[in-house]
């Protein structure tokens, strides 16, 4: 039973890692595509649309970077704690119990972060990113169709 539990933990960790890598690649590609499109049409859209979309996407990217850096710092702290326990001279049973306690502490902390902080960061980041994208798309369509662009004047 213990062996099955360990295999499940390993599988879950690998699955989590793969999902995070895929998510990060999609997010980076999305930001890259937005700014490539933005650079390509920036001479054709109004200054208001350029500045607004860059501002919205810039804040979205900044929040994403803050989130990523926070997770990275938490992971680094865990790695340092784990490495410190590895150099101790202790019986294997004690070492495994200590490593397991460190892993549980890290997992509890990451779950707390996910429950309390992820949705606000994610929601604001997505809202700002989609808003910037929609403003850019509208202005591109307005240029193509001869419609009025967003100018910031009502």
**Structure confidence at residue 9 (pLDDT):** 65
At 29 the three-state DSSP class reads: helix
The contacts of residue 7 (CB under 8 Å, 6+ apart) are none
Q: Residues 126, 56: contact at Cβ < 8 Å?
A: no
98 falls in which pLDDT band (50, 70, 90)? confident
Q: For 100-122, what is each residue's pLDDT tens digit? A: 888 888 888 888 888 888 888 88
Q: For 53-93, what is each residue's pLDDT tens digit? A: 999 999 999 998 998 888 888 888 887 887 777 777 677 77
**Structure confidence at residue 68 (pLDDT):** 86
Residues 20, 14: Cα–Cα separation, whole Å? 10
User: Beta strands of 9-137 (E only): which ranges?
Assistant: none
Q: For 120-149, what is each residue's pLDDT tens digit? A: 888 999 999 999 999 999 999 999 999 999
- Per-residue pLDDT, averaged over 16-37, amounts to 83
């Amino acid at each position: 039973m213990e062996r099955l539990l360990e295999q499940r933990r390993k599988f879950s960790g690998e699955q989590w890692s793969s999902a995070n890598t895929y998510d990060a690649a999609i997010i980076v590609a999305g930001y890259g595509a937005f700014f490539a499109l933005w650079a390509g049409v920036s001479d054709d859209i109004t200054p208001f649309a350029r500045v607004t979309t860059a501002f919205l996407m810039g804040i979205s990217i900044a929040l994403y970077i803050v989130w990523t850096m926070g997770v990275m710092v938490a992971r680094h702290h865990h790695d340092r704690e784990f490495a410190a326990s590895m150099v101790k001279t202790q019986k294997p049973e004690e070492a495994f119990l200590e490593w397991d306690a460190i892993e549980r502490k890290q997992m509890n902390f990451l779950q707390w972060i996910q429950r309390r902080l992820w949705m606000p960061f994610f929601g604001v980041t997505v809202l700002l990113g989609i808003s910037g994208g929609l403003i850019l798309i509208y202005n591109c369509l307005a240029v193509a169709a001869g419609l009025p662009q967003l100018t910031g004047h009502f």
